Amino acid sequence: MTGPARPPVLDELRAVVRDPATIPRAWKAAGGKVAGVRCLFAPEEILWAAGMLPYPLPGSPEPVRLADAWLQPCTCEYVRNLLDHALDGRLAFLDLLALSNTCDITRRLLDVWPQCMPGTPVHLVNNPQKLLEDGNRQFFLEELRRFQARAEAVSGKPVTPEGLREATRLYDETRALLTELYGLRREDPPRLTGPEAFVAAFAASILPKDRANTLLRRLLDELRSSEPPDRFGPRILVTGSALDDPALLELIEEVGGLVVADDLCTTSRWFAHPVGTDGEPLDALWRMLNKRTLCACTFPTEARFDRILAMVDEFHADAVVQFNLKYCHPFLHESQPLRKRLEARNVPLTILEVGHDRSGFGQLRTRIQAFLEMVEQP
Amino acid sequence: MITLGVDVGSLTGKAVVLRDGEILAWEVILTGPDSVETATTVAHAALAKAGLGLDDMTAIVSTGYGRIVVPFAQRNVSEISCHAKGANRLVPGVRTILDMGGQDCKAIRCDGTGKVTSFVMNDKCAAGAGRSMGIVADLLKIRLEDLGPLALEAPGDGVPVSSTCVVFARSEILSYQREATPKSEILAGACTALASRVLGLVKRVGLEPEFAITGGIAKNVGVVRRLERALGVEARIPPEPQIVGALGAAIFARELAEKKAKRGDRGAGERRSSLGEGGSS
């Protein structure tokens, strides 16, 4: 990008996203244990309090090879890519795989994982999918206790209420810093680009949170003392499934859009809700998780649409891009109802189905460019 | 004012020279492996017909798959916007456009003045696009331009041909050939398959007359008639449907130059050109 120099700490964050596995490997080398985490309902705070590094399992933009022997080719390319990583040894550092009760393919990992990686135990948190209901409290708390026991058994370190409260404080600080950072995108022009914001949030999710918080504080300082890039164009909100690669956001900005907000499992959905330190820590975790109606696998759906519309207002978005990973059925099911909600507010929407291996990017460029041209025409 | 529009498509390169809103010259050539060369060749061929050179152009806009590499264009505009703009010139007041090109199809809705209000694009393989017709013509050893009229010789919809995959369709046609199925029946089947594939696209954007078909397949009467029957409306086919995108680009070039003249040096759309202005990380 031309214009004023960008904050130097961004290079450090980019390096994390470019080669994320160096972080868990370094953690292991220092004698620690690593837990892979898929989806938002296996609380990282519990793993951290048990002395483990929660690792959000970023994939890599390459065609699926080995996993097709285990899973159908018409299933999520991201999860199949992760299984490839497991099968060819790239996830050999994992001591535990923690899954949530979200989409089919995530749950089905529970079946194939023990055969693909017999040395690494897998645990599924059976979270309720109907949220915003107090009635699920006892059941959900029991599930969290079981998850805590599993984490303790794998790590060998008991989780104390103080330890869990400390972990919550640390994670809440990451959430607060990222919320502050994302707030800078309300400005016009936004003080950081869409890909930059993504890289900051995604790197923070990969790093140990004490380290992440240091880098995020530096980024905020550097951004406040830097000139905002001189850019103009339609302001875009990107919503959709798990994005683990900034390439799509780069493409949107390359053809002239400004990605001013993102609502993704790997970014703002992950840091949206603070846990707080009121009361018993496990109960505080439940209260937060019960608010996380952010994934297309949870209900009520309208709560998520309300959030998307609130983000459109907050970030002054001109249009919405719904990003769907190839074969990500939960989010694809939502496309048309979402279109109706946005149409009622005169917010243009385009629905994209994107290959995890970046296939079809030529046609994608045409779609996005034509959409931006349509939005921009007076 | 003289402007140039260049459309580098997957199968053909098109160029239109426009003087004060009137088409001065145009050219269509096959796309070579090198998009820059294709753009340069087709532009010079069209300009030669008009007795002009690149230096005589006030503004140049590129479109099509190769749009971002055209070295002499000041701006690139997506083929979707260009087809809407160009079709509106040739079919004034058009509201629904089906553009059937070499490797993809787009259904475009516009507001009656050439502005896009929504669009959908085929998102899988080239089944339902021009390439599939080329493959069928090759298999049956007929000329592409004879395919449509021959397909109309069959009384009905022809034999069933796969509409989701060109490779499947190819093997189906091979077995029909072994069974000595008449050519017209096979061709009718291929046209029906293509028409049903793009029918869904049109229904998704919603059909509102005037309805126009652009792109190379608009020349295929076998597909056009079947689509008209399925949609229950008559399709307007512009003369030279292949150059609609390049025409739209030339009109955009003219508007760009006019805006620039009005505002001084700060062209509103320039930032959208991807040339030399990459993403950030």
Put simply, the answer to whether B280 touches A255 (Cβ < 8 Å) is no
Q: Is B272 an 8 Å CB contact of chain A?
A: yes
Asked if pLDDT for residue A36 goes beyond 80, the answer is: yes
Put simply, the answer to whether A250 touches B280 (Cβ < 8 Å) is yes
Q: Is B266 an 8 Å CB contact of chain A?
A: no
Give the closest of B68, B119, B123 to A370, CB-based: B119
- Residues B5 and B252: beta-carbon distance below 8 Å: yes
Asked if pLDDT for residue B278 goes beyond 70, the answer is: no
**Alpha carbon distances (Å) from B110 to A4, B86, B119:** 39, 12, 9
Structure tokens at A88: 């060819």
Of the pLDDT bands very low, low, confident and very high (cuts 50, 70, 90), residue B193 is confident
The torsion angles phi and psi of A29, rounded to 5 degrees, stand at -60, -30
Helix (DSSP H) and strand (DSSP E) numbers for chain A:
15, 8
Is B206 in the same domain as B229?
yes
Put simply, the answer to whether B80 touches A373 (Cβ < 8 Å) is yes
DSSP states along A226-279:
SPPP---S-EEEEEES----THHHHHHHHTT-EEEEEE-TTTHHHHSS---S-S
SS3 content of chain B, % helix, strand, coil (to 5): 45, 20, 35
Q: What is the pLDDT of residue A277?
A: 87
Of the pLDDT bands very low, low, confident and very high (cuts 50, 70, 90), residue B264 is low
Task: Out of A78-82, B3-7, B165-169, B243-247, pick the least confident.
Answer: B165-169
- Residues B48 and B60: beta-carbon distance below 8 Å: no
- List the domain range (segments joined by +) for residue B194: 93-237
Closest CA to A78 of A293, A327, A342: A327
Residues in chain A: 378
| β-bridge pairing A235-240 and A258-263 | parallel
Q: Is B123 an 8 Å CB contact of chain A?
A: yes
Put simply, the answer to whether A193 touches B281 (Cβ < 8 Å) is yes
Average pLDDT, chain B: 88
DSSP states along A136-193:
GHHHHHHHHHHHHHHHHHHHS-PPPHHHHHHHHHHHHHHHHHHHHHHHGGGSSS-SS-
In a domain, B281, yes or no: no
Give the closest of B78, B116, B271 to A366, CB-based: B78
How far apart CA B191 and CA A23 sit, in angstroms, is 56
Is B200 in the same domain as B266?
no
Asked if pLDDT for residue B268 goes beyond 60, the answer is: no
Asked if pLDDT for residue B274 goes beyond 50, the answer is: no
Q: Is B55 an 8 Å CB contact of chain A?
A: no
Put simply, the answer to whether B280 touches A233 (Cβ < 8 Å) is no
Put simply, the answer to whether A253 touches B280 (Cβ < 8 Å) is yes
Closest CA to A174 of A221, A144, A127, A206: A206
DSSP states along B163-192:
SS-HHHHHHHHHHHHHTT--HHHHHHHHHH
Closest CA to A27 of A47, A9, A46: A47
Task: Out of A141-155, A356-370, B116-130, pick the least confident.
Answer: B116-130
Residue B180 makes CB contacts below 8 A (sequence gap 6+) with none
Q: How many CB pairs under 8 A join A and B?
A: 76
Q: What is the pLDDT of residue B270?
A: 46
Longest dimension (CA), chain B: 69
Is B66 in the same domain as B110?
no
| Alpha carbon of B226: minimum distance to chain A alpha carbons (Å) | 27
Put simply, the answer to whether A10 touches B281 (Cβ < 8 Å) is yes
Q: Which 57-86 residues of chain B touch chain A by CB within 8 A?
A: 65, 68, 77-81
Number of neighbouring beta carbons within 10 Å of residue A133: 12
Which percentage of chain A shows pLDDT scores above 90?
91
pLDDT tens across A215-239, in order? 999 999 999 998 888 888 999 999 9
In a domain, B55, yes or no: yes
Q: Is B113 an 8 Å CB contact of chain A?
A: no
Q: What is the ipTM of this complex?
A: 0.82
Is B232 in the same domain as B249?
no
SS3 content of chain A, % helix, strand, coil (to 5): 50, 10, 35
Residue A359 makes CB contacts below 8 A (sequence gap 6+) with A63
Is B152 in the same domain as B178?
yes
Is B120 in the same domain as B11?
no
pLDDT tens across A167-184, in order? 999 999 999 999 999 999
* CA angle centred on A30, ends A27 and A31, rounded to 5°: 95
- Residues A254 and A337: beta-carbon distance below 8 Å: no
Q: Is B119 an 8 Å CB contact of chain A?
A: yes
> What is the pLDDT averaged over residues B192-200?
87
Q: Is B104 an 8 Å CB contact of chain A?
A: yes
For residue B274, the chain A residues in CB contact (below 8 A) are 254-255
Closest CA to B91 of B219, B224, B214: B214
Give the best residue of A230, A373, A375, A376 to mutate against chain B (max B CB count within 10 A): A373
> What is the pLDDT averaged over residues A93-111?
95
Q: What is the pLDDT of residue B62?
A: 97
- Residues B212 and B238: beta-carbon distance below 8 Å: yes
Closest CA to A90 of A172, A174, A22: A22
- The ranges assigned to domains in chain A are 23-162
How far apart CA A209 and CA A227 sit, in angstroms, is 28
Is B101 in the same domain as B193?
yes
Put simply, the answer to whether A366 touches B80 (Cβ < 8 Å) is yes
pLDDT tens across A65-97, in order? 999 999 998 999 999 999 999 999 999 999 999
A23-162 topology per CATH: Rossmann fold (3.40.50)
Put simply, the answer to whether A1 touches B117 (Cβ < 8 Å) is no
Is B118 in the same domain as B246?
no
Burial of A176 (0-12, 13-18, 19+ CB in 10 A): middle
> What is the pLDDT averaged over residues B138-161?
90
- Residues A59 and A80: beta-carbon distance below 8 Å: no
> What is the pLDDT averaged over residues B249-266?
86
Q: Is B27 an 8 Å CB contact of chain A?
A: no
Give the closest of A2, A256, A367 to B272, CB-based: A256
Q: What is the pLDDT of residue B247?
A: 98
Is B42 in the same domain as B171?
no
How far apart CA B77 and CA B75 sit, in angstroms, is 7
- Residues B227 and B199: beta-carbon distance below 8 Å: yes
For residue A200, the chain B residues in CB contact (below 8 A) are none
For residue A372, the chain B residues in CB contact (below 8 A) are 272
- Residues A74 and A9: beta-carbon distance below 8 Å: no
**Alpha carbon distances (Å) from A106 to A98, A102, A118:** 10, 7, 17
Q: What is the pLDDT of residue B177?
A: 92
Of the pLDDT bands very low, low, confident and very high (cuts 50, 70, 90), residue B265 is low
| β-bridge pairing A319-325 and B59-63 | unpaired
Q: How many domains does chain B have?
A: 2
**Alpha carbon distances (Å) from B54 to B2, B22, B77:** 10, 18, 19
CATH classification at residue B148: 3.30.420.40
How far apart CA A210 and CA A237 sit, in angstroms, is 29
Put simply, the answer to whether B271 touches A233 (Cβ < 8 Å) is yes
pTM: 0.90
In a domain, B229, yes or no: yes
Is B250 in the same domain as B125?
no
- Residues B254 and B59: beta-carbon distance below 8 Å: yes
